[in-house]
Amino acid sequence: MQRFKLSSLQIQRSHLYSFRNLHCYLPKLFSQQQQQTPLENVGPICSHLKSRSVIKFQGPDTIKFLQGLLTNDVRRFAQSIAEKPKTSNFPTPNVSPVSEPPMYAAMLTPQGRFLYDFFLYRPWRPEEKLDTTGAKPGEEGFALFADVDFTVLDEILECLRKYRLRSKVEIENVGNDYACWQRFGGQLSSKSSSTEDPKAASIGWGGAINCAGMSATQGNHLGWQWYNDPRLETLGFRGIFPSNTIPPLVEADKEADERNYLLWRLEKGVAEGSTEIPKGEAIPLEYNMVGLNAISFDKGCYVGQEFVARTHHRGVIRKRLLPLKFANGSGKEVVQKVTPGSEIVDTTSNKKVGTVTTALGSRGLGLLRLEEAFNASGTLSIKDQDNVKIEVIRPDWWPTEWFPERQNHTSAA
């Protein structure tokens, strides 16, 4: 696997990861490599997610504060170690016997529209492991880390501090100290099963491997680790690591440009961040956030909860985010012909079916009406570009009740 680079196209960091405009910067090499080595046939590969940053919550009111803001049930992080099943049987001195998986959640407007997404991680507690000298780390107070969208980092911090009021929780930008990484690829699961504890779903502290003997080469002496992506297993592994270290299993020939991870998500039909999920506009259920384990319907009240609950219990979602493939009239994939915001129309009726929300090469995501998306096969195209046809892909991770034929049956019943 070759390393993907943009050495001739160094772009300002503040603009590089605005995915609405990312198509403008794609080099020819990337599109050629994309066609020659599909991601389903390679892996595992790793990407440093420079589009994401890290913030830290610390203080006795951390759980209470986040519980009232986010769509998922954050109280899981407050459970004591005695309440959790063991996920490692190795008696190595610095390995915790439990592994707390991360959580995916969203923050909404009072009207129930999407604002920001969060990947929450709970660092090891002092009573769970020893440090490298055999003593307790001694970190004071309860803490959580959050992997968030870098492009709206300042907005997120300002919004969180506005809601903090008198809560005893400190909110700190630690993006310079920590980095976000994703490990993915079509061959990942088959290569990981023999070395990872399926319960821990991690590599590093807490996994069913002798980490004491591997920490020097894998860079995991601080206890940071890979976890199964909390949204979908098929997305691979995710983690945050100290920015001055190389994460475990990241080798020179296995590190790839972040756009490969974006392409991997597009093929699965998963959006991420406040650009791909329009801030202040997107309805969480239309962006499949229930199926991505981002929403709890048992946790009680949070900002925007009433709208989400009402939409969910109504039972029928007419529009959803879908993975798309762009091709010409002969079926050959076309690259760099579609931009986010392009309208998708049914050529037989000339009616609008949906909108492209994200595009990269010949793949994209679009918010489409389900009935027309699945029944108008072969007749969808980009408005005013009849030579660009749209192929809608049926995600294999969707529950059957999401498909229009099932929804029609349920409505009739």
> What is the pTM (predicted TM-score) of this model?
0.80
First to last CA, the chain: 52
Task: Please tell me whether residues 156 and 272 are part of one structural domain.
Answer: yes
Cα 37 off chain centre by:
23
CA torsion 183-187-189-193 (nearest 10°) is -110
| Torsion sign across C-alpha atoms 263, 264, 267, 268 | negative
At which of 254, 288, 315 does a domain end?
Answer: 315
Tally of residues, the chain: 413
Place of tokens 């050495």: 7
Which amino acid is residue 389, in one-letter code? K
103 close to 229: Cβ distance less than 8 angstroms: no
Residues of the chain with pLDDT under 70: 1-38, 43, 80-99, 124-141, 187, 189-223, 377, 405-413
| Average pLDDT over the chain, rounded to an integer | 78
263 close to 363: Cβ distance less than 8 angstroms: yes
50 close to 11: Cβ distance less than 8 angstroms: no
- pLDDT for 84 equals 52
One-character DSSP codes across 14-67: HHHT-TTSGGGG--HHHHHHHHHS-GGGS--EEEE-TTEEEEEEESTTHHHHHH
- pLDDT for 192 equals 44
In a domain, 86, yes or no: no
In a domain, 196, yes or no: no
43 close to 254: Cβ distance less than 8 angstroms: no
Task: Please tell me whether residues 323 and 308 are part of one structural domain.
Answer: no
| Torsion sign across C-alpha atoms 194, 195, 197, 201 | negative
- pLDDT for 133 equals 44
Task: Please tell me whether residues 331 and 397 are part of one structural domain.
Answer: yes
pLDDT in tens, 339-376: 999 999 999 888 999 999 999 999 999 999 999 998 87
CATH of the domain at 338: 2.40.30
Task: Please tell me whether residues 374 and 237 are part of one structural domain.
Answer: no
Q: How many domains does the chain divide into?
A: 2
At which of 300, 315, 330 does a domain end?
Answer: 315
Residue 333 CA to residue 307 CA, distance in Å, equals 39
Task: Please tell me whether residues 225 and 171 are part of one structural domain.
Answer: yes
Give Cβ neighbours of residue 8 (< 8 Å, ≥ 6 apart).
27
- ω into 44 cis (within 30 of 0): yes
Task: Please tell me whether residues 295 and 344 are part of one structural domain.
Answer: no
Which amino acid is residue 183, in one-letter code? R
Residue 176 CA to residue 340 CA, distance in Å, equals 31
Our CA angle for 51, 54, 56, nearest 5°, is: 165
- pLDDT for 27 equals 34
- pLDDT for 405 equals 65
Report helix, strand or coil for 346: strand
At which of 290, 315, 340 does a domain end?
Answer: 315
Q: Per-residue b/e over 36-54, b at no fewer than 16 CB within 10 Å? A: eeebeebbbbbbbbebbbb
Q: Per-residue b/e over 92-106, b at no fewer than 16 CB within 10 Å? A: eebbbbbbbbbbbbb
Task: Please tell me whether residues 298 and 348 are part of one structural domain.
Answer: no
Task: Please tell me whether residues 52 and 169 are part of one structural domain.
Answer: yes
Q: Which domain holds residue 326?
A: 318-408
Residue 299 CA to residue 73 CA, distance in Å, equals 6
In a domain, 19, yes or no: no
In a domain, 16, yes or no: no
pLDDT in tens, 8-28: 333 333 333 333 333 333 333
Place of tokens 């570009």: 385
Q: Per-residue b/e over 189-217, b at no fewer than 16 CB within 10 Å? A: beebeeebbebbbbbbbbbbbebeebbee
